Structure 1
């Protein structure tokens, strides 16, 4: 069974990032071997490639014929965040982690079905589903996330990184926007009410599931304020809208739904989403992704208070 199937095609997001990252480029050069090693490790048959942006994901068949998903994750910060989050969630509104090999950065996951993304739903309905999934994920005790990575620790590192990146591209973002975003991140704190945050909860990362209705995939688990988990959904679906006023109107409607369902502090939601979107916009610009920069910068402007 082991390595039967087909060669692996790297997702476009990985290929773009590898152009600026020699370590990632080297990893891509051996990803076929990593996939084959994982298939041998768990006696899997490759079935089909699955859509992905920043990892290699395949549908596979286990020795008993049951379907599963093999995910091989590049060696970066997010590899250290996803598996602990999946372990903590333990199938609560997320795919079950069936096995993990740290030497290969390969995870064997439950195959979610029918796996329709939220993007096919009307916007208000999709927002209500996202709120429901958030509420379920937030019930998982924060003590189950090990190691207990804290969003506040990560946030305090971002201002220096943002300023360094923006400094190499004069005129990329207005100085007052950069000052406002970095101050929000510098002062972002933690509290006893913090929860395990998914970290990338948006329309393409929530899939329909026969087991529990909807599940959230690709978590980047950190412990922090609930309001920070809203940012990803406010900047998605990706590239669908670039007009700042229309983005603002859409996101205010979404925030009203979230406040009614989840009792969130909307000012904190906007602050984190603004700062996080500007951080990602700057990263996109220096990584050679001008379309992503345009989208993220428009989102940041729409959220600025």
Structure 2
């Protein structure tokens, strides 16, 4: 059994702030139980903590640990939601190909033991063009056929839920200015889902910050919110990556469209489909941001959608 930790193991400030804001009472209850959960798995899996990763995730606490044999690893304790529940199954399916390797898991309680990556070094550390090149290489490895009996939600079902929530949020007074974009976005799912390409296992939340430097391979993905379906859904989030920088560049509208075209070509995704997925996901995310009080972020996402 691991000895009592001699290092601070408090949850990061961002985790406390975001969970309280996004998840309300459920988030606060999970945070209250977190110290006991952490101690339980340090002892159960014979792990010695080194330090808490800062700033960590939005809905997970990440602790750098040593296993009983001294091998470095990462212990991740996350709030289980509809989006995160199948993370262990996706990591197991990829088995280290393009994504962090899963060593142990208690999926029901959201506790994962992962191989140690270089958590401070993501694709955000690279110039944009180089980061996009590396990101497309990672996606090529991740987009594999799912098993016949896979547990993952389909893009069609997930998108239907997003569209329902978008309709509801668009009725709120604070969303009045976004309604023309919302109306256009809500026309897209039926067209996108009518004749989808061959489905593959998707990361679901793929962006530069979710790809970390590693030793086995140069770059590996983390934190999937897995789905099965059209690759364009996954690639859409990459199209709007580093949005603050993109927005500050000269001719941002043209730059966004060029980026979309280059990514579609690099990964052989239909450009019109990618445009539609990028538009839908940006509008949905923008309205969601407005709903949780992030007006600056929401308005920037909606402006990006208008460029497309």
TM-score normalised to the size of structure 2? Answer: 0.89
Match of 1:9 in 2: 11
1:292 is paired with a residue whose SS is helix
Distance 1:244 1:300 in 2: 16
8 A contact 1:208–1:215 mirrored in 2? yes
8 A contact 1:97–1:107 mirrored in 2? yes
Match of 2:138 in 1: 133
1:59 aligns with 2:64: yes
8 A contact 1:239–1:292 mirrored in 2? no
Structure 1 runs of 4+ off > 6 angstroms? none
Distance 1:187 1:23, change over 3 A: farther
1:37 aligns with 2:44: no
Match of 1:22 in 2: 25
Match of 1:48 in 2: 51
2:114 is paired with a residue whose SS is strand
8 A contact 1:277–1:297 mirrored in 2? yes
Match of 1:166 in 2: 170
Match of 1:257 in 2: 262
Q: Residues 199-226 of structure 1: CA distance to partner in whole angstroms, max 9, x if unpaired? A: 1111111112221121111111111111
Distance 1:17 1:291 in 2: 19
Match of 2:161 in 1: 157
Query: What is the Cα deviation at residue 96 of structure 1?
Result: 0.7
8 A contact 1:38–1:104 mirrored in 2? no
Query: What is the Cα deviation at residue 93 of structure 1?
Result: 0.9
Distance 1:295 1:182, change over 3 A: same
1:120-269 equivalences under 5 Å are: 120-138=125-143, 140-143=144-147, 146-189=150-193, 191=196, 193-237=198-242, 239-242=244-247, 246-269=251-274
Distance 1:129 1:15 in 2: 32
Which runs of 5 or more residues in structure 2 are unaligned?
A: none
Which runs of 5 or more residues in structure 1 are unaligned?
A: none
Query: What is the Cα deviation at residue 182 of structure 1?
Result: 1.4
Match of 2:292 in 1: 287
TM-score normalised to the size of structure 1? Answer: 0.90
Q: Residues 174-216 of structure 1: CA distance to partner in whole angstroms, max 9, x if unpaired? A: 3221111112134442646111111111111111222112111
Tell which deviates more after alignment, 27-36 or 7-16. Answer: 7-16
